[in-house]
Every structure is written in C-alpha cells, then in structure tokens.
Amino acid sequence: MPEASQYDEIGELYEQVKDLPFGVSEWATVVSALPDLRDRTVLDVGCGTGAYTRMFRRAGARQVLGVDPAREMLAVARAAEEREPLGISYEPHDGITMPKLGDFDVVAAIWPLSHVGDRKSYDRMVANLAENLAPGGRLLVVVPNPDADSDRLDDYPRYGMTVTPGGYTGECVETLVRVHSEPPFEFSGFGWPSGVFEESCAAVGLTEVRRYPTVVPETDLAERGAEFWAVLLESSMFAVFTAQRPSPGE
Ligand SMILES: C[S@@+](CC[C@H](N)C(=O)[O-])C[C@H]1O[C@@H](n2cnc3c(N)ncnc32)[C@H](O)[C@@H]1O
C-alpha cells in the first residue's frame, strides 16, 4: 500500500493516540523542543488530523499551515477547524514533492519521515523542510528512535503500541505498528539508522542538530509510577530532533 494512503483508512481513529501513554510522552517531548511560538509562523508537514497543528496555534503562533497527503486525515483536521475556528489553513501536499510554501519560523515534521522508504526521497523531504524555513528558523522532527533497544520492544504494548520490525529495504527497516486504540489500527513505516537524519540535514546546510531526551509529564509519572515509565524513558519508540537554518553571516 502506498505509504500515505494507508492513513485514509485511519482518519479520526488517530486522534486517540495522544491519550495513550506513548502519545502523552511524545507530546511532552515535542513541547520541550519547541521555541516560544508567540507571534511566529509554523508549517506542520504531515499534520495528520491536526492535533499538533492546533497546539501550535494555541501556543501563540500567528500563522499556522498544516499539510498532509492523506485526504481522510486532512478532512478530520478541517472538520475540527470548522467546529472551532482557530484560523489554521490546511493544504494537501506530500513532503517529498511539496513546493516552497513560505519562510516559516518553525517547520514541524512529526512522523512523516518514518513513511519514506528510500534515501533519495528521505533527503528530498529534508531538503523541502529546510527550504520552507526562514533564516534562523527551527526544524522539529519526530522519527522512530534510531537507538531503540530491540530487546525492549516486548515492553511497548503497555504504552499503547506494538512494534514489529520486518526486513531491511536498503538502509531502513520496514516496521509494522499496531496502535492499541478502540478499535486498534495498524500502519507500516520505516526506521532509519542512527546518523541518517544528521547527514541529511548537513547536506542541506541545517546546523545544530540536537536530540531531546524523552520526557513524561509529572502528573503521569506520579499517577502510574516510575517503574511503569522506565522502558519508555530509557528506550523510547520515538525520537525528537531539532535543527537550525543558520541566519545570514552565521
Ligand atoms: C503517524 S501520523 C502523524 C500525524 C501528526 N503529525 C501527528 O503526530 O498527530 C503520520 C502522518 O504523516 C503523513 N505522511 C505520510 N507520508 C507523508 C509524506 N510523504 N509527506 C507528508 N506527510 C506524510 C500521513 O498521512 C500521516 O498523517
């Protein structure tokens, strides 16, 4: 199945992800990596149903554009905008082929790189993300954790996700993900080895690539206890990175 079109079958179900334990931690880790968004412009590539897109606007961004190639995901995002207008625009674009849409202070790509299965397209998407950044702007991505300990995968279901690695396609491992929502849903993606994101950023002049430690909100830590969260904190299924587009003269 083509990578993005599998999300046409998921649509609204994806909204439940943010309430599952891995989603709660992913959200908190993304927030920890964001600059102050007040009065900034944000492009959200692979915005899906728009949960982060709405958060960016609520955090004070003055202009937010969400793009995604999956019709059904965008339909859910647009329906939320109709119900509660926040002034967010949504457009259908694929990160591999998208044009320059503007000079954004922040470009977010929360998971779309995990749906790219060949290096040329991966580098193309990173180049397009960079191209849409204003000088001094920040790229934020969420990707499958390239350093995840494969011996800990059996512990992931308690966080709301089962991850089953398949075979290698070139450099990357094709992986089946089952999300334990009600009802559950599945999608496949690709895990890229450590260092690929950094190399791809360097090739298009992005600097200061930084990985953020996985965090869990204090209330959730207290509610479920440190033992529950231990594996996620040590060997999470996701990794949050940022990179900078240098300002002129830097
Ligand atoms: C796991 S969902 C995450 C959605 C959203 N970023 C979030 O975290 O709530 C991955 C999204 O990436 C989108 N996607 C897949 N391939 C893509 C591509 N080539 N370019 C842009 N988005 C893509 C899918 O349609 C889907 O909406």
Please name the residue whose Cα sits nearest to atom 22 of ligand 1.
Answer: 46
Q: How far apart are CA 153 and CA 162, in angstroms?
A: 8
The residues facing 129 across adjacent strands are none
Tell me the mean pLDDT in the region 116-135: 98
Q: How far apart are CA 27 and CA 240, in angstroms?
A: 10
Tell me the mean pLDDT in the region 153-171: 95
Fold of 5-244: Rossmann fold (3.40.50)
Do 120 and 104 touch, CB atoms closer than 8 A?
no
At 204-231, the pLDDT tens digits run 999 999 999 999 999 999 999 999 999 9
Ligand 1 centroid to 145 CA: how many Å? 16
Q: How far apart are CA 114 and CA 126, in angstroms?
A: 12
Ligand 1 centroid to 7 CA: how many Å? 8
Q: Is 70 in the pocket of ligand 1 (CB under 6 A)?
A: yes
* CA 151 to each of CA 88, 108, 155, 164: distance values in angstroms, whole numbers, following the listed order: 42, 30, 9, 12
Ligand 1 centroid to 26 CA: how many Å? 15
The domain ranges of the chain are 5-244
- pLDDT for the residue 3: 61
Q: Reading across the β-sheet that carries 161-169, which strands appear in turn?
A: 161-169, 172-179, 185-191
* DSSP summary character for residue 65: E
Ligand 1 centroid to 84 CA: how many Å? 22
